[in-house]
């Protein structure tokens, strides 16, 4: 893959272009921060319906499992979204 900014060859799995890091040294940190931010938001978005379910149905076995899975799914989704977004903003 080629870097959109400088046109140089970059490994496909690279989060940032090694040729461009000279002028943007905080890039990988910003991507990380975006990921963490997204993960936190996703976690709380997943937590709300989980709490609601617990209130509605009580902490029975199936509900407990859903209450654990929902925030974790939200966290994973938010993390991915945050990383992709931070990556795009940088480009």
Site for Zn ion contains 5 (CB under 5 A): yes
**Nearest CA-CA partner of 27 in 6, 54, 57, 42:** 6
Rounded to whole angstroms, the Cα distance separating 13 from 1 reads 9
Q: How many other CB atoms are found less than 10 A from the CB of residue 79?
A: 20
Phi, psi at 45, each rounded to 5°: -65, -40
Among 1, 2, 6, 65, binds Zn ion (CB under 5 A): 6
Nearer to Zn ion, 21 or 55 (CB): 21
Phi, psi at 9, each rounded to 5°: -70, 130
Site for Zn ion contains 14 (CB under 5 A): no
Nearer to Zn ion, 14 or 69 (CB): 14
Site for Zn ion contains 17 (CB under 5 A): yes
Task: Kindly indicate which of the ranges 2-10, 24-32, 45-53, 63-71 contains the residues binding Zn ion, using the contact rule CB under 5 A.
Answer: 2-10
Residues 18-37 that bind Zn ion (CB under 5 A): 19-20
């Amino acid at each position: 893959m080629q870097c959109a900014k400088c046109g140089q060859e970059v490994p496909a799995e690279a989060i940032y272009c090694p040729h461009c890091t000279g002028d943007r040294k905080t890039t990988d940190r910003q991507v990380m921060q975006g990921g963490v931010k997204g993960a936190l938001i996703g976690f709380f978005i997943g937590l709300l319906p989980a709490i609601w379910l617990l209130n509605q149905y009580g902490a029975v076995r199936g509900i407990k499992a859903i209450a654990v899975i929902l925030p974790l799914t939200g966290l994973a989704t938010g993390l991915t979204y945050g990383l992709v977004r931070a990556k795009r903003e940088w480009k």
